[in-house]
Homo-oligomer: A and B are copies of this chain.
Amino acid sequence: MKRKIASSKLRSAAFTRTRADHSAELAHDYCELIAELIDEKGEARGTDIALRLGVSNATVAKTMKRFSDQGLVEQEPYRAIFLTADGWKLAEDGRRKHAIVEQFLLALGISSKVAQVDAEGIEHHVSDETLKAMARFLARN
C-alpha cells in the first residue's frame, strides 16, 4: 500500500511539473520576443508580436493586458509595448535557455530549421540540471 502511494506521488510529480512549465511558458516566450523586437527596432508593436507569434492582434492585445496586470510589461493606449524589470528578467533567462537548447540540438547534428522549431518547445521543460548537462556537452564539443 505504502509503496503504491509513494510511486504514484513520484509519477504525478512529473505531470504536475509539466503543467507548471506550461503556465509559465507563454510569459517567457512573449517577453523574449518583445526583447528581440526592442533590440531590433527600438519598440515592440502589437502587430509585430502577432506576426512573429502567428496569432491574431486581438489575442496579443488581450494577453498584453493580462501581463501588464502581472507587472511584466508596460504600455500606454495605442502605443508600443515595453518590458518592466521583471519582464526583462524573464526575457534574459529565456534567451539564455533558448540559446543553450538550440546550440545543443545543433551540436547533436540537427538541421538548423528543425533545431529552431524544436528548441521553441523544449526550452520550457528543461530543468537546471539538464541545462547544465547540455552546456557541458557543448563545451566538450
Give the B-binding residues of A (Cβ under 8 A).
8, 10-19, 21-22, 29, 48, 51-55, 105, 108-111, 113-122, 124-127, 129-130, 133-134, 136-137
* CB-based nearest B residue for A36: B11
Contact B53 A15 (CB under 8 A): yes
Contact B121 A21 (CB under 8 A): yes
Copy tally for this chain in the complex stands at 2
Contact B130 A118 (CB under 8 A): yes
Q: When chains A and B are docked, how far (Å) is the Cα of A54 from the Cα of B7?
A: 12
Q: Interface SS of chain A: helix, strand, loop or mixed?
A: helix
Partner among B18, B118, B124, B127 whose Cβ is within 8 Å of the Cβ of A127: B118
A58 nearest CB across to chain B (Å)? 16
* CB-based nearest B residue for A17: B117
Contact A52 B12 (CB under 8 A): yes
Q: When chains A and B are docked, how far (Å) is the Cα of A16 from the Cα of B56?
A: 12
Q: Which of A22, A118, A126 has the most CB of B within 10 A?
A: A118
